[in-house]
Structure 1
Amino acid sequence: MTSTLPPKSKPLPHGVYPPVISLYKSTPRQEIDLDASYKFFSHLIRGGVDGLVLAGTNAEAVLLSPEERKDLVKIAKKAASDLGRPELAVIAGISGQSTNESIRLAEDALSAGADFGLLLPPNYWAKAVTEYVILSFYRDVADATELPIVIYSFPAMCNGIDMNSDTLSELAHHPNIVGVKLTCGNAGKVTRLTQEYTHEQFSVYAGASDWLIPCLAGGGSGCVTGIANIFPKSVAKLYTLWNAGQIQEAKELQGLVAQAEKACKEGIAATKYAAFHFAGSAAGVNDPKAFWPRKPYTPCGNEKNAWVEKVMQHLVQIEQSLPDAV
């Protein structure tokens, strides 16, 4: 490591984080189902995840109201506390198109009990998003809140805005910016950033579990992955195997996880159907409509559902063979 940057006062813990899907009532307005959410959060925590990410892309964050976001944070904290895991990290999406909106979302998340905030770069007018705009945006939000900020790099959802490792390195020097989630899939950013910074200075996470081992091998700290909504024990086991030095076993499980994660690449509807089909019953949420996307978006058709089942089926036996963490 080459940086003399002091460690952050509250680093983001190592590990596996599901960007938790939002569950809705079977009503015309599809209100958030807080009871179902509590059950699903509890299921994931029992599965051994190291934290929960709320109001992210998989949660359909742009379709959630400010009050719904706060309610979900409160319910997640309650689920963790009730299971004896009050320290479990809850990361709230705070992405807004303006600095002011992002600060307001950060204040809301902090007041609801969130531990960290996950923040995309501004991207509506992509041509106006210069490096200066990105640096100013993140620094201004981080200055204005006590909520530690995790940068969210996802060019595919941000009009192609892609923050390079030099920009991320600049932001790492802010005392309230603690890490980055790389949904850009760029392993080079991992190795460059981890060469400069320790986990405590600035942590780096893969944005999917199909490259968890490459991220960890490059010095990264874990992953935020949609498939952990569906097979949390399997992804947690993959992380544990690598850290225990059981490299061959980890590589074998990594391949199986990567094959199954193809379905999550198909979008929110496919991910939510998989969560219902493979995890809904175990979580105690049996209404398939709870897992539908929020309107105007629609669930997958029968053909896509059958494909999702086929490409993920091989993880069922592994998931069922693993014990609950709590």
Structure 2
Amino acid sequence: MQCVRAWGSLNSLCRVAHHRAWKRSQSHTAAARLDLSGIYPPIATPFTAKEDVDYQKLEENLQKYAKIPFKGLVVQGSNGEYPYLTVEERVEVVRMVKQSLPAGRLLVAGSGCESTRATIQLTQKMAAAGADAVLVVTPCFYKGKMDSRALIHHFTKLADSSPVPVVLYSVPANTGLELPLDAVVELSQHPNILGVKDSGGDITRIGLIVHKTKARDFQVLAGSAGFLMAAYCVGAVGGVCALANVLGQELCELERLCVSGRWEEARVLQQRLIEPNAAVTRKLGVPALKQAMEWFGFHGGSCRSPLQPLTEAESQQLRRDFSSNGWL
């Protein structure tokens, strides 16, 4: 009887292992096909005066983005104000963007939540809404406990369950937490973890990630336009850049110069992008990005509260940062 029970248990374990292996194999095949290289704007979410999502203005922005040679769009990232949207709104925005996206362009959807369980559930919804991959931020509310062990567990469970490839997202300016290097290296071995968007701006770290994961099919994306050229120099394959919402053509041109090895021209363009990029990211943030979008013919509008519009002094500083570099 004990032998029969043991055999039954072993048989059950084999079936589970086979199922997991099949899932990983399927996910790995999908991940291997997906080339992330290129420029992505992490698109903003327009709101009405009553702070409802303004789908009409979003559609108008998408029509303009379609004329710029982006590799794809990142939807529901930090610049999309995702923490202030409901789950239903986050999914609906992704579904609507998918319907308008030109053929051949990737849709990467932010699906990060604080718990692993909620992240898995939202990831599945984003995949069903049309996402080609998900961008998953580090959970950070209990950041003192979010060490490598916890984060490896979180992302591994997610990647095991996700029907689409996973891109890790480290944005310490917002989370107060940097995804540890050793965690990135270990997670790069998972067949359904495709790459990382690193917004920290430490080029040494980005270069080291590229170096330590070079034996894997692992892709590194710069998380900001201010260090895009430097990231390309150390092996990044592209960028998810807030400034691309405003100067998309110019960011795509910088990518083209870097990929073709025209470093002197790239350096000149990169230098002109540093100040306006800093203004719409670490200095003044999403309200500044939305203000700049209005200047350049896109719908930015106001943010959802508690984010507040720029003060007059901040708006003047933003204009100087763009004007002094020849963009206004």
| Common fold: TM-score over 0.5 | yes
Distance in 2, matches of 1:51 and 1:141, equals: 23
1:238 pairs, out of 254, 257, 260, with 254
Matched residue, 1:24 = 47
Distance in 1, matches of 2:233 and 2:215, equals: 14
* Deviation readout 1:242-284 (Å, 9 max, x if unpaired): 112221111100000112212112211111111112232xxxx
SS at the partner of 1:175? Answer: coil
> What is the TM-score of this pair, normalised by structure 1?
0.86
> What is the TM-score of this pair, normalised by structure 2?
0.86
2:64 pairs, out of 33, 43, 46, with 43
SS at the partner of 1:46? Answer: coil
Matched residue, 1:291 = 301
Any residues of structure 2 matched to 1:195-210 within 5 Å, and which? 195-198=211-214, 201-210=217-226
Maintained 8 Å contact 1:77/1:86: no
Matched residue, 1:273 = 291
How far off its partner does 1:60 sit? 0.6
Compared CA separation, residues 131 and 164, structure 1 to 2 (3 A): closer
Any residues of structure 2 matched to 1:99-178 within 5 Å, and which? 99-158=116-175, 160-178=176-194
How far off its partner does 1:76 sit? 1.6
SS at the partner of 1:92? Answer: strand
Maintained 8 Å contact 1:231/1:315: no
Once superposed, what is the RMSD of the aligned Cα atoms? 1.8
Matched residue, 2:11 = none
Any residues of structure 2 matched to 1:91-106 within 5 Å, and which? 91-106=108-123
How far off its partner does 1:200 sit? 7.1
Any residues of structure 2 matched to 1:212-231 within 5 Å, and which? 212-231=228-247
Is it true that 1:90 corresponds to 2:107 in the alignment? Answer: yes
Distance in 2, matches of 1:263 and 1:227, equals: 9
Q: Which amino acid aligns with 1:63?
A: Y
Matched residue, 2:15 = none
Any residues of structure 2 matched to 1:54-73 within 5 Å, and which? 54-73=75-94
Distance in 1, matches of 2:307 and 2:320, equals: 24
Query: How many equivalent residue pairs?
Result: 297
Matched residue, 1:10 = 33
How far off its partner does 1:155 sit? 1.6
Unpaired runs of 5+ residues, structure 1, are 1-5, 318-326
Distance in 2, matches of 1:47 and 1:304, equals: 29
Distance in 2, matches of 1:199 and 1:14, equals: 18
Identity of aligned residues (%): 25
SS at the partner of 2:168? Answer: strand
Maintained 8 Å contact 1:231/1:279: no
Distance in 2, matches of 1:183 and 1:99, equals: 22
SS at the partner of 1:35? Answer: helix
SS at the partner of 1:261? Answer: helix
Compared CA separation, residues 183 and 137, structure 1 to 2 (3 A): same
Distance in 2, matches of 1:132 and 1:98, equals: 15
How far off its partner does 1:141 sit? 0.7
Distance in 1, matches of 2:309 and 2:327, equals: 22
Distance in 1, matches of 2:81 and 2:110, equals: 10
Distance in 1, matches of 2:130 and 2:62, equals: 15
Q: Which of 1 and 2 has greater Rg? A: 2
How far off its partner does 1:197 sit? 3.4
Is it true that 1:301 corresponds to 2:311 in the alignment? Answer: yes
Distance in 2, matches of 1:24 and 1:161, equals: 29
Between the two structures, name the one with larger relative contact order (CA 8 Å, sep ≥ 6). Answer: 1
* Deviation readout 1:106-163 (Å, 9 max, x if unpaired): 01101100111111122111222221111000000111111211000112222x3222
Maintained 8 Å contact 1:242/1:250: yes
